[in-house]
A and B are shown apart, each in its own frame.
Chain A
Amino acid sequence: EDQVTQSPEALRLQEGESSSLNCSYTVSGLRGLFWYRQDPGKGPEFLFTLYSAGEEKEKERLKATLTKKESFLHITAPKPEDSATYLCAVQAKDMRFGAGTRLTVKP
């Protein structure tokens, strides 16, 4: 069965302290891997799509990378406004979401 696992469940960083979030997956026939940001009380907001191993996408302080088994969301010099839950989803036969990583960035 297709599975998506995100780690860690929660991450607390100091402002400026870079780190990475992990999304590991086991699916047959990956068509795309997606990263979303979700703020409390809001719906998820699209960040990136990655289609093949070795692909990278960047947006401000965020960079997403993809291998054959996992994706990383790297956060460089985070700011408090980067605090949110980050969701990973994989599209194969259908779309499967991970449970998310709740990121808190303290000033």
Chain B
Amino acid sequence: NAGVTQTPKFRILKIGQSMTLQCTQDMNHNYMYWYRQDPGMGLKLIYYSVGAGITDKGEVPNGYNVSRSTTEDFPLRLELAAPSQTSVYFCATETGTEKLFFGSGTQLSVL
């Protein structure tokens, strides 16, 4: 089992460009999350999903969008990238026990 797979691992965007961060899991977990991690700050929740077809905003959703058409996939879309979105992004899954399983992250720079 691969667990939680995130692609790409690194990406550089220009201001105003858009991109999709991919997240796929093979653990059949219903709950999926997107976090961002900035230096000196705790992980911040961007969006989450409790199952296919259901998504909801987290603490810092502005500038991002998500979709959840299948149990396995939970892509994060950045529209009109801004320097403030430079961060490391983590996708995570959970079985409902609140214990999170994280992917290895996507390091994004917006210049």
Contact = CB atoms under 8 A, between A and B. Distances in A.
A43 B42 CA distance: 13
Contacts of B43: 44, 87, 89, 97
For the residues of B in contact with A, the DSSP-based class is: loop
A99 B105 contact: no
- What range describes how many residues of A lie at the interface? 20 to 34
A97 B92 CA distance: 14
B98 A46 contact: no
A41 to B, nearest CB: 7
7 contacts: A36-B100, A43-B90, A43-B102, A43-B103, A46-B101, A94-B58, A100-B42
Given A41-B105, A49-B98, A99 B4 contact: no
Contact of A32 (B4, B35, B40, B98): B98
Contact of A44 (B41, B44, B58, B100): B100
B45 interface: yes
- The majority secondary structure among interface residues of chain A is strand
Given A41-B105, A94-B59, A46 B100 contact: yes
Interface in B30-72: 35, 40-45, 58-59
A45 interface: yes
Given A34-B99, A89-B42, A100-B42, 12 more contacts: A4-B42, A42-B104, A42-B105, A43-B90, A43-B103, A44-B90, A44-B100, A46-B99, A89-B43, A94-B45, A94-B59, A97-B35
